[in-house]
């Protein structure tokens, strides 16, 4: 059925005579799957839960609502009756059907799945998109906000400079040099609303095709393509992107994740780091370095940014999304001098993207050492998570290999051919959201297809991590020869869900 939006008039709650129309409109969206009755029930529950239908409000009579929605009267009568039984509505002889006066029950509406599968509520998530949101350093951040707002000059609360607050650019310039080996001054830094915004700005000033890694975020490729730039895939192997393929692409720019390839998980080999800089110098090219999780390395000191090799040929883009929170929407671009004006012009005449208060807070947070302390703590936290993932797999699924370096907030589990899709589906049945490698593959890539699961081990809160791992183990394919498998210790009440269950 096509989307059905109905505009129905409902009568008022307390204080309004029964039968008197309040004149307020109620929009009911009956689109989606399932029977008309269940969709109507879902739409009414949603209207009650969101407060659009207040307790005590009288609903239209069956016939009137059926007429407005173009559906059978019985469908409305049955939906009302079920919602009365569930406690959402109350029916009284002579006064029609009303929204129940007692507290509205809060429960998941299973009749209306989200239209965006990635936003569906599931008990567990190992999606690689988020840090551990429960670990956000609330009180240290508040301390910095208080201090930053108290110390800020009046102009901080006026219209902002599109380059971003100077306090933050100064703090970043010192921090990036010290921690990431970036060569810059504050004047070459432009604050943006996360990496995605930085890429969007670059999309507006780059020319020609842009080379990208065969595996990467489709969302980022989409931003470049939306700017009219074709993206050309480079093979990704165990040494990172194949830089030797760059000349044949005709690209003048390349987007890479050198510290920790996303999502396959390897670093760019030192020879290839040098090679990409050589290519940029000899072809008038530009490297866009996405340093989204460069601070998180567990087996050694983090490798410095490629930008340090040639600040005139590399745009370094960093973000607070993994280190602090994607909700801050704060990122930073370190630009070659010849690109600064163009990017500032692309950003617009005034700051309309990033809050000055958040910028000042981050500046204070870095300057007072809280950012370093937070990163140290989170490094230990994510390292423990990764160790737990590796040891759980070693115990329960020793045939599954964890690939990539000990870094970042995600790992890839290598899977045998033709098992990825089934594993993602089996995870769904365990109430576990995760991604396979398939959605990250560039559609034009000619490299051999890899199968695997991208496990965001940073995502769950501590209390849910072990059960997320247990659900993961239940979703993994069996070893090729079942007899070699050690006896699995499934959690109580759960059994392994194989394909075809
Ligand atoms: C590959 C990659 N690049 C960059 C980012 C940061 O994106 P943003 O700063 O737009 O949140 C992420 C996610 O955090 C990512 O996975």
DSSP string covering 210-269: EEEESBS-HHHHHHHHHTT--EEEE-EETTEE-GGGHHHHT-SEEEE--SS-TTT-PPPP
Does the Cβ of 332 fall within 6 Å of ligand 1? no
Rounded Cα distance between 50 and 29, Å, is: 14
- Closest atom of ligand 1 to 322 CA is 14
Residue of the nearest CA to atom 15 in ligand 1? Answer: 292
Answer whether 0.85 is exceeded by the pTM: no
DSSP state of 440: G
CA 43 – ligand 1 centroid, Å: 35
Residue of the nearest CA to atom 12 in ligand 1? Answer: 292
Question: 240 - beta bridge partners?
Answer: 237
CA 401 – ligand 1 centroid, Å: 25
Does the Cβ of 194 fall within 6 Å of ligand 1? yes
For a ligand 1 pocket test, name from 292, 328, 358 the mutation site with the most ligand atoms within 8 angstroms of its C-beta: 292
CA 316 – ligand 1 centroid, Å: 13
pLDDT at position 368 is 98
Does the Cβ of 292 fall within 6 Å of ligand 1? yes
User: Cα angle vertex 92, ends 91, 96, to 5°?
Assistant: 70
For a ligand 1 pocket test, name from 195, 214, 266 the mutation site with the most ligand atoms within 8 angstroms of its C-beta: 195
- Closest atom of ligand 1 to 257 CA is 1
Residue of the nearest CA to atom 2 in ligand 1? Answer: 292
Does the Cβ of 264 fall within 6 Å of ligand 1? no
CA-to-CA separations, 173 to 186, 246, 359, 428, in angstroms, rounded = 6, 30, 14, 44
CA 319 – ligand 1 centroid, Å: 7
**Which residues, in sequence order, are CB contacts of 251 under 8 Å at separation 6+?**
208, 209, 210, 211, 232, 285
Does the Cβ of 263 fall within 6 Å of ligand 1? no
- Closest atom of ligand 1 to 319 CA is 9
pLDDT at position 495 is 40
Does the Cβ of 196 fall within 6 Å of ligand 1? yes
Residue of the nearest CA to atom 3 in ligand 1? Answer: 292
Does the Cβ of 61 fall within 6 Å of ligand 1? no
For a ligand 1 pocket test, name from 132, 214, 259, 326 the mutation site with the most ligand atoms within 8 angstroms of its C-beta: 326
- Closest atom of ligand 1 to 331 CA is 9
Rounded Cα distance between 356 and 364, Å, is: 12
Does the Cβ of 318 fall within 6 Å of ligand 1? no
Residue of the nearest CA to atom 1 in ligand 1? Answer: 262
CA 464 – ligand 1 centroid, Å: 24
Q: Cα-atom radius of gyration of the chain, to the nearest Å? A: 27
Rounded Cα distance between 467 and 462, Å, is: 10
Does the Cβ of 217 fall within 6 Å of ligand 1? yes
Chain-centre distance for alpha carbon 490: 30
CA 140 – ligand 1 centroid, Å: 23
Q: Are 270 and 240 in contact (CB under 8 A)?
A: no
Closest CA to 246 of 298, 196, 209: 209
Tens digit of pLDDT per residue, the chain (501 long)? 444 555 566 655 444 333 333 445 566 778 788 889 999 998 888 888 877 788 888 888 888 888 878 889 999 999 999 898 888 898 887 778 998 886 554 444 444 444 454 545 567 999 998 999 999 999 999 999 999 999 999 999 999 999 999 999 999 999 999 999 999 999 999 999 999 999 999 999 999 899 999 999 999 999 999 999 999 999 999 999 999 999 999 999 999 999 999 999 999 999 999 999 999 999 999 999 999 999 999 998 899 999 999 999 999 999 999 999 999 999 999 999 999 999 999 999 999 999 999 999 999 999 999 999 999 999 999 999 999 999 999 999 999 999 999 999 999 999 999 999 999 999 999 999 999 999 999 999 999 999 999 999 999 989 899 999 999 999 999 988 754 555 555 554 444 433 322
Report the DSSP pairing between strands 253-256 and 286-290: parallel
CA 129 – ligand 1 centroid, Å: 8
CA 341 – ligand 1 centroid, Å: 24
For 386, the 3-state DSSP assignment is helix
CA 224 – ligand 1 centroid, Å: 15
């Amino acid at each position: 059925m096509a989307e059905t939006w109905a505009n129905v008039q409902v009568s008022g709650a307390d204080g309004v005579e029964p039968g008197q129309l309040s004149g307020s409109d109620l929009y009911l969206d009956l689109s989606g799957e399932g029977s008309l009755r269940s969709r109507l029930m879902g739409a009414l529950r949603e209207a009650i839960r969101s407060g659009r239908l207040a307790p005590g409000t009288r609903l239209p009579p069956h016939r009137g609502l059926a007429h407005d929605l173009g559906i059978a009267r019985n469908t409305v009568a049955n939906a009302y009756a079920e919602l009365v039984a569930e406690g959402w509505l109350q029916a009284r002889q002579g006064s029609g059907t009303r929204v129940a006066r007692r507290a509205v029950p809060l429960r998941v509406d299973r009749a209306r799945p989200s239209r965006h599968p990635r936003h569906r509520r599931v008990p567990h998530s190992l999606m690689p998109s988020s840090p551990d949101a429960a670990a956000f350093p609330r009180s240290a951040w508040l301390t910095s906000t208080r201090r930053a707002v108290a110390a800020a000059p009046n102009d901080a609360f006026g219209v902002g400079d599109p380059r971003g607050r100077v306090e933050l650019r100064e703090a970043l310039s010192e921090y990036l040099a010290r921690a990431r080996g970036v060569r810059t001054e504050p004047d070459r830094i432009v604050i943006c609303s996360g990496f995605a915004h930085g890429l969007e700005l670059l999309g507006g000033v780059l020319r020609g095709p842009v080379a990208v890694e065969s595996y990467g975020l489709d969302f980022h490729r989409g931003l470049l393509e939306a700017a009219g730039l074709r993206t050309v895939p480079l093979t990704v192997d165990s040494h990172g992107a194949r830089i030797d393929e760059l000349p044949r692409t005709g690209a003048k720019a390349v987007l890479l994740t050198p510290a920790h390839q996303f999502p396959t998980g390897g670093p760019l080999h030192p020879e290839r780091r040098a090679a990409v800089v050589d290519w940029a110098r000899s072809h008038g090219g530009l490297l866009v370095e996405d340093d989204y999780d460069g601070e998180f390395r567990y087996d050694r000191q983090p490798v410095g940014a490629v930008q340090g090799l040639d600040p005139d040929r590399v745009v370094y883009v960093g973000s607070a999304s993994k280190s602090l929170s994607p909700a801050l929407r704060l990122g930073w671009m370190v630009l070659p001098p010849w690109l600064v004006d163009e990017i500032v012009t692309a950003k617009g005449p005034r700051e309309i993207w990033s809050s000055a208060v958040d910028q000042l807070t981050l500046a204070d947070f870095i300057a007072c050492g809280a950012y370093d302390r937070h990163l140290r703590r989170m490094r230990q936290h994510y390292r423990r998570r990764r160790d737990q993932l590796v040891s759980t797999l070693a115990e329960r699924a020793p045939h599954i290999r964890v690939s990539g370096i000990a870094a970042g907030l995600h790992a890839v589990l290598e899977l045998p051919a033709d098992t990825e899709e089934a594993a993602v589906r089996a995870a769904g049945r365990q109430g576990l959201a995760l991604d396979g490698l398939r959605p990250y593959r560039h559609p034009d890539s000619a490299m051999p297809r890899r199968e695997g699961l991208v496990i965001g081990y940073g995502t769950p809160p501590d209390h849910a991590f072990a059960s997320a791992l247990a659900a993961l183990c239940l979703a993994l394919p069996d070893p090729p020869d079942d007899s070699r498998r050690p006896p699995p210790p499934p959690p109580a009440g759960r059994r392994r869900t194989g394909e075809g269950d």
